[in-house]
Amino acid sequence: MQENKAKKTILLVEDEAIIAMNEKIGLEECGYDVITVNTGKQAIEAFNKFPRIDLILMDINLGNEIDGTEAAEIILKNHDVPVVFLSNHLEPEVVEKTEKITSYGYIVKDSCITAIDASIKMAFKLFEANMLIRKNEIMQKTVMYNISDIISVFDTDGIVKFNIPNINLTKFSGWDSRELVGTSTFTRVHPEDAPRVRKAFETIIKEDKSSILMELRMQSRDGSYSPIEATLTNLVNDPVIGGVLVNCHDISERKKAEKALRESNLLLRQVVKYAPIATAVLDTGMCYIAASDRWLGDFKVNESDIIGKSHYDVFPGISRQWRDIYLKCLKGAIECSGNDSFERADGSMVHNRWEMRPWRFQDGTIGGVISYTEPLNKIDPVMSNGYVKSRDL
């Protein structure tokens, strides 16, 4: 009996009435619902009449009309359904006709119902496995088509062997993935970048599975150049890839953001540079971003000595008081001040009254601390012993 609880519906296509009746009875005893038709044309029309057909048991010879293989070919153009052929003939030319069609078995008509049932069950298993494979392939193609990265395979001379179809390749460069196949990628690299790219390419193909990450400018269809980040990996000896795998993506927006950040930092440094009081700007990692000329003079350091460096590196003798207040600012304290002593870069001491305030990004998150300092002529014992005033949010 049929193992599945939900009955499967079989379309039995058989032009001999007695054979069709006997097969229908046997299949129903095995637990199937059976629809019978006796011509190829009726088999095609059955898919318009019945909402669900799970498998076709198709006789090859169907009289003077279209035969079973022709009917199956027409049906399979519009429907995903397993087809199992039935025939009394085992001649090579008959079997060969079925091989041109995606089928899931070939059963001799006089086989016992147990053998037919076993063939049908196997056909269902194969069909489900193929549907899963096809689904996974479609999913992979869809994912690859929509990812931001563009993936290509080059031969050892830099000729494009294959491009994975990708919507971003066309959006980014204007090229279709197929029209680049057979062309040299070096012809589209910016002339200033070409020597460096060729050298990198020649280097990695000397060592199996070696890889390199680099930035370069690539020409689009309209002749303009755009920045990309590319990873080149030598998979020439890989039996599947058989070439240099190149994974790249557009970094135009990143470059714009980096440029904007550089310009913003430059503007910040210029604004802070001429501040009338000693001012320093630090990030959340306690690294210096900018400092005024007066601040540099007070602490006897040059701008190149501090920018991008940690306060710990510039002033190894940092006091616990200064550090604790800095961390408190990062947590939201909007005004912290006190007195402290610092050892300058030349070893001399400077005594300062200082004030710290957090600075914020446009979205409101704290980006670091602004420190204002004023030298004191002498140390105030009370202040230097750790007195600190703060006003929290």
pLDDT at 204: 92
Kind of pairing, strands 83-87 and 55-59? parallel
Q: How far apart are the first and last CA of the chain?
A: 76
pLDDT at 276: 86
Q: Which residues, at least 6 apart from 70, have a Cβ–Cβ distance to it below 8 Å? A: 40
Q: In the structure, what pLDDT confidence band is assigned to residue 36 with cuts at 50, 70 and 90?
A: very high
Same CATH fold, 265-391 and 150-250?
yes
pLDDT at 142 over 80: no
Q: Which residue has the higher pLDDT, 335 or 205?
A: 205
pLDDT at 164 over 80: no
pLDDT at 85 over 90: no
pLDDT at 212 over 70: yes
For residue 202, the 8-state DSSP code is H
**CB-neighbour burial class of residue 246 (10 A; exposed 0-12, middle 13-18, buried 19+):** buried
Q: What is the percent of the chain with per-residue pLDDT over 90, rounded to a whole number?
A: 21
pLDDT at 103 over 70: yes
Query: Which fold does the domain 265-391 belong to in CATH?
Result: Beta-Lactamase (3.30.450)
CATH number 3.40.50.2300 is the correct assignment for the domain at 9-143: yes
pLDDT at 386 over 50: no
pLDDT at 173 over 80: no
**Cα separation of 160 and 17, whole Å?**
60
Q: According to CATH, what is the number of the domain 150-250?
A: 3.30.450.20
pLDDT at 148: 66
C-beta of residue 44 within 8 angstroms of C-beta of residue 63: no
C-beta of residue 187 within 8 angstroms of C-beta of residue 203: no
C-beta of residue 68 within 8 angstroms of C-beta of residue 89: no
Q: Which of 21-30, 31-40, 55-64, 303-312 shows the lowest mean pLDDT across its residues?
A: 55-64
Average pLDDT over residues 84-111: 73
Q: Which of 251-265, 336-350, 379-393 shows the lowest mean pLDDT across its residues?
A: 379-393
228 backbone dihedrals φ, ψ, rounded to 5°: -135, 155
pLDDT at 209: 92
pLDDT at 377 over 60: no
Average pLDDT over residues 55-62: 86
Q: In the structure, what pLDDT confidence band is assigned to residue 1 with cuts at 50, 70 and 90?
A: very low
Q: Where are the domains of the chain?
A: 9-143, 150-250, 265-391
Q: Which residues, at least 6 apart from 234, have a Cβ–Cβ distance to it below 8 Å? A: 204, 205, 207, 208, 209, 210, 211, 244
Average pLDDT over residues 370-383: 64
Q: Which residue has the higher pLDDT, 393 or 349?
A: 349
pLDDT at 32 over 90: yes
pLDDT at 317 over 70: no
